[in-house]
Structure 1
Amino acid sequence: MAFDLTLRQLRYFVAAAQTGQFSMAAANEHVSQSAITNAVLALEGALGTKLFERLPQGVALTPDGQDFHNHARRVLDAARDAMHEPRFRSHDMRGVARIAASYTVLGYFLPELLARFRATYPFIDFDLRDMERPQIEEAVASGEVDIGVVLLSNMQRASRFGSQVLIRSRRQLWVAPTHPLAQQHTVSLKDIAAHPYIMITVDEGEHSTMRYWHKKRIEPNIAFRTSSMEALRGLVAHGFGVTVLSDMVFRPWSLEGKRIEARPVHDVIPHMEAGMIWRKGATLSGPATALQQFLIHACGG
């Protein structure tokens, strides 16, 4: 039987996937919760598979849901880019956009956006630099680079720059399917503290993590520290511990093919925010301005 897929259904599905709650997705999309529920049910019926696991505190993507989420995002991104082109596209704009990015955004966020930008502006080249956040701030302030893409949630003095949040990414528990915490109906930081914790150290990961743990006056039981995201995935997938990280860097498998699941945390944990910074008051070059406006538009700003 034919199924007429709509962009609205994809948008509602992606909103539910990103928030982990149908009610919050409905609020973000300014529709009723039943609109979100009906869209998801229609997609599940057409695909013949469950896209979400229904949990007491929300929903979590199934493996099939994760795969479909990747496809849905690409479709929505392509539609957004098509709407962007008539107003901003300049086939013959030439020059160089100078960008600096930190490890996490360079590895898990920026490449796909840069590829989409290049499809719109094929003659603009990138001077792309991998730097730590403090060095990015210095390079932007000095005019060495036009735009820095960083974890804004780690910045102490963001107000000295022009800035734009590009993505707010929910933090969730990462856990092996057989781990005791994966079987609980609700999980709190206090529950997590009773188990070995894998701490990521790259991109100021430990500092940003400990801020919200200390706010709750709880200490995680840190068993391992690592700067390698893939090492962390492997340790979690094999049951050596758990971690709390953002959806932006989540992948449901380790390199060895072992399953990893994400679970909402009951406590209020701040989202990770990634975004752009530029020198306040500076006049950006044409290519840099094109990139700045494209990223704002592509990320829904």
Structure 2
Amino acid sequence: MEIRELEIFLAVVDAGSFQSAAERSFCSQSTVSETVRSLERSLGVELFDRGHRPARLTGPGEILAGDARRMITLAAELRDRVRADSDVITGSVRVGTYSSATTNFLAELLPRFRADHPLVEVKLVEMGGTDLPVAAENGQLDCFLRQTTPPLPEARFRAHPLWREPFQAVVTPGHPLAARPGPVRRAELAGAALIVTGRFLPGGLLAHPFWSSMGTTNIAYEVSHPHSLVALVRAGLGVGVSTLLGLRTAGTDGLHVTVVDDPIAVRDVALFVPCLTPPSRQAKIFIDYAAGFPVPPGCTVLGAGAPSH
């Protein structure tokens, strides 16, 4: 019985299906199925009732699930204690992230971190903001970068504030907003056809105070990525509104970009660590390193006491 087998077994338990467990474990469904079969062969029992959907544990499966999480935690604690007396820090850190944070922050941080800690491997996992906390609590991530809205429960996640970036509007050179200097005002956005990134779901776009105050009546297009937003702006379909780093990642050459003049038109980003399982020694090294690393150009340092958006 191996720790990785237990992790995949618990992924099936938590996800309710082998396919969903494969997505959470970042491997194929056949790998998940074969791993569970291998675990069943080694134990001599069936762990799941495969005729039931969603996946349902058998009696022996219930017993194993009850102790598997504790076994994984104990193994991690034992590994850390064994390494504690050594000055050499080794191992891997699984970091959840999203595209603009990877491009504008981690791409600068990782080479320096590798130079300072060459034996610590950093594994990046990019996913959506709603998926990151779930992956962390399932043991798939040691920490993750995420905007602070919607807020995460303080009892479950510890936040290390990193940076604040402004919202920006992007238009074609011939658009009326490009004809004058200075920031764009809220009233001007309220009267324009907007192109945005985000989801109109609880905990999505409208969880941010700026968008909840603006509403969605004049949103013409909702897309998932700033590249798509910029493409629609280039097509003359409206005013794009996104964050500084998102637009920087997408590329806005030839377009007019200006900051949104509103004190709540900002996005705060933090590094989150799940509270349920203490971070490993190498994860602590990475967390401290990231928390003290320079923020991306154009952003401001977000102090621990600053209000978040």
**In which range does the TM-score fall when normalised by the shorter chain?**
0.5 to 0.7
1:284, 1:210 → 2: CA distance?
29
Do the aligned partners of 2:98 and 2:128 also contact (CA within 8 Å) in 1? Answer: yes
2:271, 2:231 → 1: CA distance?
31
The question of 1:214 aligning with 2:209 is answered no
In the other structure, the counterpart of 1:164 is: 160
Do the aligned partners of 2:184 and 2:260 also contact (CA within 8 Å) in 1? Answer: yes
Question: What runs of 5+ residues in structure 2 fail to find an aligned partner?
Answer: 1-85, 295-300, 304-309
In the other structure, the counterpart of 1:85 is: none
1:271 aligned partner, one-letter code: V
2:135 aligned partner, one-letter code: A
Q: Identity of aligned pairs, percent?
A: 25
The question of 1:179 aligning with 2:172 is answered no
1:177, 1:105 → 2: CA distance?
28
In the other structure, the counterpart of 1:289 is: 284
**CA-atom RMSD in angstroms:** 3.2
TM-score calculated relative to the size of structure 1:
0.59
The C-alpha deviation readout for 1:15-54, integer Å capped at 9, x for no partner, is xxxxxxxxxxxxxxxxxxxxxxxxxxxxxxxxxxxxxxxx
Do the aligned partners of 2:91 and 2:121 also contact (CA within 8 Å) in 1? Answer: yes
1:281, 1:227 → 2: CA distance?
31
Q: Residues 265 and 127 of structure 1: is their aligned pair in 2 closer, same or farther, counting only changes over 3 Å? A: closer
SS of the counterpart of 1:136? helix
1:148, 1:253 → 2: CA distance?
22
Do the aligned partners of 2:94 and 2:124 also contact (CA within 8 Å) in 1? Answer: yes
Q: Residues 129 and 293 of structure 1: is their aligned pair in 2 closer, same or farther, counting only changes over 3 Å? A: same
How much has 1:148 moved relative to structure 2? 1.7
Do the aligned partners of 2:168 and 2:257 also contact (CA within 8 Å) in 1? Answer: yes
SS of the counterpart of 2:278? coil
In the other structure, the counterpart of 2:123 is: 127
Question: What runs of 5+ residues in structure 1 fail to find an aligned partner?
Answer: 1-89
1:1-301 equivalences under 5 Å are 92-185=88-181, 187-201=184-198, 207-208=205-206, 211-216=209-214, 219=216, 221-251=218-248, 254=251, 258-280=253-275, 282-299=277-294
How much has 1:111 moved relative to structure 2? 2.9
How much has 1:224 moved relative to structure 2? 2.0
How much has 1:272 moved relative to structure 2? 0.7
1:220, 1:91 → 2: CA distance?
58
Structure holding more helix per residue: 1
2:208, 2:288 → 1: CA distance?
34
How much has 1:96 moved relative to structure 2? 0.7
In the other structure, the counterpart of 1:32 is: none
SS of the counterpart of 2:292? helix
TM-score calculated relative to the size of structure 2:
0.58
1:220, 1:180 → 2: CA distance?
21
Q: Residues 238 and 131 of structure 1: is their aligned pair in 2 closer, same or farther, counting only changes over 3 Å? A: closer
1:210, 1:296 → 2: CA distance?
23
The C-alpha deviation readout for 1:221-252, integer Å capped at 9, x for no partner, is 22222223212112223432112221122239
Do the aligned partners of 2:100 and 2:245 also contact (CA within 8 Å) in 1? Answer: no
How much has 1:293 moved relative to structure 2? 0.7
1:150 aligned partner, one-letter code: R
The C-alpha deviation readout for 1:77-103, integer Å capped at 9, x for no partner, is xxxxxxxxxxxxx99532111222244
SS of the counterpart of 2:109? helix
Q: Which has the larger radius of gyration?
A: 2
Do the aligned partners of 1:193 and 1:219 also contact (CA within 8 Å) in 2? Answer: no
Do the aligned partners of 2:209 and 2:264 also contact (CA within 8 Å) in 1? Answer: no
Q: Residues 229 and 270 of structure 1: is their aligned pair in 2 closer, same or farther, counting only changes over 3 Å? A: closer
SS of the counterpart of 1:273? strand
In the other structure, the counterpart of 1:11 is: none
Q: Residues 140 and 264 of structure 1: is their aligned pair in 2 closer, same or farther, counting only changes over 3 Å? A: same
SS of the counterpart of 1:250? helix
